[in-house]
């Protein structure tokens, strides 16, 4: 599969081969009662590929969302935030190629026009429409391109088009990201499906790049919001590709409630003990999607897991893990298959968190390379070099100060990342 990104009207195109870290097993995505999907090519930016997704949701669907904490959010992020208090949704419209961010009054007008067009197509109010956009920042989005397109999509929407939906929201992604789970809730078997996109400008802050999760469980908006807010912390918020938080980060969850007809109890509180298995499965879908984002980092050839233990707190461990995961020097060393623990020491030291050089231990893929402030006495260059050739690399840092532990996923930093981002817009 190729993902081609046009540079304005330039005929030059960049082709990105599928990531070598892409999952080999793609799940069958079952239908979810109350959700219908359709995609089309609206010509937002790309030529010859789909770039708009419409998800139609049955009446009574509840919604929850978390969004970027960027102080320069996109117009669709502001639109969705304003709607969340209504706690219901009838449709979702997502476009790729244009983020509709840093577009001022024009951007706000575009979101309103998009919602109006979608509402007419879906037979609901504009305030029942949720929106998300991804792509180039600073370019006006011509929402008139949705005229006619959304009406056709509403007519053709079907419950089995999950892979099409995941492809339609891609930008520099090299593969569609999907995840699914099934779990019992009362007498009913509940389905949870998720899709996501993200490959660059990835350092989420209270949300993800773009991700959408759907279920037929009868869960109140308040309970769904609580699950989403807690679930994102150790999944999407524990992933970084390049330390850059997007203007457009959006994670929305929709619950149609259709399973109540099959014996699923209505859940109003996230603390309801009947929700325990569902919450675990919901978290698993988020974690699966988050790892796929890390696997598809722009130009990535290595999936990197950074584990920090023995910190004074979990928060401290997270900050140190992110310092390591975001370091260009650490990430380029991984790309070069060099177990350069000196760069890890540097990243620990600059994090601003409690650390003691003489208690520090570092291991790559289970091989301890440094301990107690010096190179490990049993260090074997050949052994470590062989381990660094693996497509998955684990960096484990033991601080020896307390019980705080955390984990962050990232990837290596290669020449391809520079090539992709040096020619993304101009």
Show the tokens assigned to 400.
């020896």
Show the tokens assigned to 37.
């999907």
- The three-class DSSP label of residue 278 is helix
208 is catalytic: yes
- CB neighbours of residue 219 within 10 Å: 31
> CA 135 to CA 424: how far, in whole Å?
10
DSSP string, 118-178: HHHHHTS-GGGEEEEEEEESSSPP-GGGGTTHHHHHHHH-BTT-HHHHHHHT-SS-SS-EE
> CA 184 to CA 277: how far, in whole Å?
7
- CB neighbours of residue 64 within 10 Å: 24
Q: Max alpha carbon distance in the chain (Å)?
A: 71
Closest by alpha carbon to 134, among 98, 103, 106, 101? 98
Contact criterion met (CB below 8 Å) for 253 and 224: yes
Query: Is 340 assigned to a binding site?
Result: no
* C-alpha triplet 311, 408, 403: angle, nearest 5°: 20
Residues 6+ apart with CB under 8 A from 145: 42, 43, 44
Contact criterion met (CB below 8 Å) for 254 and 212: yes
Query: Is 421 assigned to a binding site?
Result: yes
Q: Among 191, 208, 371, 414, which one carries the catalytic annotation?
A: 208
- CB neighbours of residue 182 within 10 Å: 11
Contact criterion met (CB below 8 Å) for 24 and 292: no
Q: Where are the beta strands (DSSP E) in 80-141?
A: 91-98, 129-136
Query: Is 229 assigned to a binding site?
Result: no
Show the tokens assigned to 35.
């959700």
Kindly state the DSSP code that residue 270 receives in the 8-state scheme: T
Show the tokens assigned to 231.
């679930």
Numbered residues of the known binding site for substrate: 171, 197, 208, 298, 421, 426
Numbered residues of the known binding site: 171, 197, 208, 298, 421, 426
- The catalytic residues are 208
């Amino acid at each position: 599969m190729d993902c081609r990104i046009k540079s304005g009207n330039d005929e030059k195109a960049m082709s990105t081969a599928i990531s070598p870290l892409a999952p080999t097993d793609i799940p069958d995505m079952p239908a979810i009662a109350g959700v219908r999907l359709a995609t089309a090519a609206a010509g937002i930016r790309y030529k010859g590929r789909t770039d708009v997704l419409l998800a139609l949701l049955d009446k009574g669907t509840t919604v929850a969302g978390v969004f970027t904490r960027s102080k320069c959010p996109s117009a669709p992020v502001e639109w969705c935030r304003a709607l969340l208090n209504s706690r219901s949704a009838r449709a979702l419209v997502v476009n790729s190629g244009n983020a509709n961010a840093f577009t001022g009054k024009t951007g706000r007008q575009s979101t309103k026009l998009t919602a109006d067009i979608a509402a007419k197509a879906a037979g609901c109010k504009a305030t029942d429409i949720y929106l998300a956009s991804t792509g180039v920042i600073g370019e006006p989005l011509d929402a008139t391109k949705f005229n006619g397109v959304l009406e056709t999509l509403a007519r053709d929407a079907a419950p089995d088009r999950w892979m099409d939906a995941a492809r339609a929201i891609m930008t520099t992604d090299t593969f569609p990201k999907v995840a699914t789970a099934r779990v019992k809730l009362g007498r009913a078997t509940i389905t949870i499906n998720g899709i996501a996109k993200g490959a660059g400008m990835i350092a989420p802050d209270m949300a993800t790049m773009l991700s959408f999760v759907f279920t037929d469980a009868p869960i109140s908006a308040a309970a769904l919001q609580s699950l989403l807010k807690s679930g994102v912390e150790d999944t999407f918020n524990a992933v970084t590709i390049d330390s850059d938080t997007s203007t457009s980060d959006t994670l929305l969850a929709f619950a149609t409630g259709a399973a109540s007809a099959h014996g699923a109890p209505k859940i109003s509180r996230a603390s309801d003990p009947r929700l325990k298995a569902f919450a675990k499965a919901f978290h698993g879908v988020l974690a699966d999607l988050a790892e796929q984002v890390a696997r598809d980092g722009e130009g990535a050839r290595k999936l990197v897991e950074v584990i920090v233990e023995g910190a004074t707190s979990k928060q401290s461990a997270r900050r140190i893990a992110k310092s390591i995961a975001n370091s260009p020097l650490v990430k380029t060393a991984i790309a070069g298959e060099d177990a350069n623990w000196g760069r890890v020491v540097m990243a620990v030291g600059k994090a601003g968190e409690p650390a003691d050089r003489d208690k520090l231990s570092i291991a790559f893929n289970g091989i301890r390379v440094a301990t107690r402030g010096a190179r490990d006495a049993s260090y074997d260059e050949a052994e470590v070099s062989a381990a660094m050739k693996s497509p998955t690399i684990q960096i484990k840092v033991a601080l020896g100060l307390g019980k705080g532990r955390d984990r962050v996923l990232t990837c290596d930093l290669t020449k391809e990342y520079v090539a992709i981002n040096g020619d993304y817009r101009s």
